């Protein structure tokens, strides 16, 4: 089983959240984990925000970034290409998505086959993925 993780499904692997168990189960059951290269930047931003909001101490942030670095080494990254960005632009318009969400969806769609599951905790993104015929998992 190939699991495409968007950032909302990936962060619970790093920070304890109600969806952490579900995200970990998806991660552990996957034979291949995939995401678009921008996952790292989005995840670092989410971790920094968690620190600013007091969910992570400075030491916790440092540990979380180390874990992020380790986990992203296990992710097969889809590179940002002109065709991927153009597809994402079309999806943003058609599916009424934010830009980065559309990039995640375009990347998942590019590698999707019968064994691929799109994992996201974003309801709008899950609905868009479902409407395109992708198998979805919402860890939340």
| Inter-residue contact 40 to 72 (CB < 8 Å) | yes
**CA atoms within 13 A of residue 34's CA, in its CB half-sphere:** 22
Torsional sign, CA 127, 111, 81, 65: positive
pLDDT at 43: 98
Residue whose C-alpha is closest to residue 77's, from 117, 114, 47, 104: 104
User: pLDDT per residue over 12-55, tens digit each?
Assistant: 999 999 999 999 999 999 999 999 999 999 999 999 999 999 99
- The C-alpha atoms of residue 99 and residue 108 are separated, in whole angstroms, by 14
pTM listed for this prediction: 0.95
Helix ranges restricted to H, the chain: 7-10, 20-29, 39-52, 58-72, 82-95, 99-111, 123-131
Helices 123-131, 82-95: axis angle to 10 degrees equals 100
Name the superfamily (CATH) of residues 2-38+76-137: 5'-nuclease (3.40.50.1010)
CA 78 to chain CA centroid, nearest Å:
12
- Residue boundaries of the structural domains of the chain: 2-38+76-137
């Amino acid at each position: 089983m190939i699991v495409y993780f968007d950032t909302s499904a990936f962060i619970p692997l790093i920070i304890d959240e109600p969806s952490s168990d579900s995200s970990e189960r998806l991660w552990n059951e996957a034979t291949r984990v995939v995401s678009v290269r921008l996952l790292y930047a989005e995840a670092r931003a989410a971790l920094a925000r968690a620190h600013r909001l007091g969910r992570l101490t400075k030491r916790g942030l440092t540990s979380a970034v180390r874990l992020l670095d380790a986990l992203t080494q296990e992710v097969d990254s889809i590179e940002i290409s002109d065709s991927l960005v153009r597809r994402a632009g079309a999806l943003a318009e058609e599916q009424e998505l934010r830009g980065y969400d559309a990039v995640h969806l375009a990347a998942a769609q590019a590698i999707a086959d019968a064994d691929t599951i799109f994992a996201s905790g974003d309801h709008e993104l899950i609905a868009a993925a479902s409407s395109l015929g992708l198998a979805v998992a919402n860890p939340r």
